Amino acid sequence: MIFNDTSSPIRLIETRRSAKPRDMVPPGPDAAQLERILRAAIRVPDHGKLSPWRIVVIGKDQRDPLAALLCRSLNVEDSTALRHFAHQGETLLVVLSRPVEHKVPRWEQQLSAGALCMNILVATHALGFTGCWLTGSPAYSAAIRDAFGEPGDNIAGFIFIGSPGRDLEERPRPDYDAVVSKWDGEVRA
């Protein structure tokens, strides 16, 4: 589903879907649209105004070197899956969680990075594109992290952006009553 109801911000969130990166097709956002997505995304909750995250844009011309990095870092001679991973989506972002030493707990800073990823997906949807946030083994490799960030960083995710190559399917969502409750006032020790 392509979002086109700008009159309702809640409808934007209700209609957002992730697309499989392998199903994404052109066009992706142009430079101005991508900047708009990222400027919206950095308006994330950030206790302490620390900006404990970074965004790295991987250009289309950088996908072969990325594939080689993935294979080398994960000790795979040549992996079709990793090569596909590197070449999917019209736009590819690496989001790094970069907590700093501060009175704001590390956990809150990591949550801010997660919120940044979600803001990217919502802003992507608002401009009529589709996105997907993935981690997987590339996100947990120190060598891959070091190619984009520095020790102490974590890869919060790889975000793929493009246009849907097919209709997006609704996935099962949790039952509302199974995940939302009211506190009964009892203090549990």
Phi, psi torsion values for 106, nearest 5 degrees: -50, -45
Q: What are the chain's domains?
A: 17-57+88-166 (3.40.109.10)
| pLDDT computed for residue 116 by the predictor | 98
* Per-residue pLDDT tens digits for 7-56: 688 988 999 999 999 999 999 999 999 999 999 999 999 999 989 999 99
Exposed e or buried b for every residue in 12-22, given b needs 16+ CB within 10 A?
A: beebbbbbbbe
pLDDT of residue 78: 73
> What is the enclosing helix (H) or strand (E) of 133?
strand 130-134
Over the chain (189 residues), the average pLDDT of each successive run of 10 is 63 92 97 98 93 96 96 88 96 95 90 97 96 96 94 95 93 93 89
The position carrying tokens 């919206």 is: 40
Residue 4 is predicted with a pLDDT of 55
- Give the alpha-carbon dihedral of 45, 49, 52, 53, to 10 degrees: 60
Rounded CA gap, 55 and 14, in Å? 26
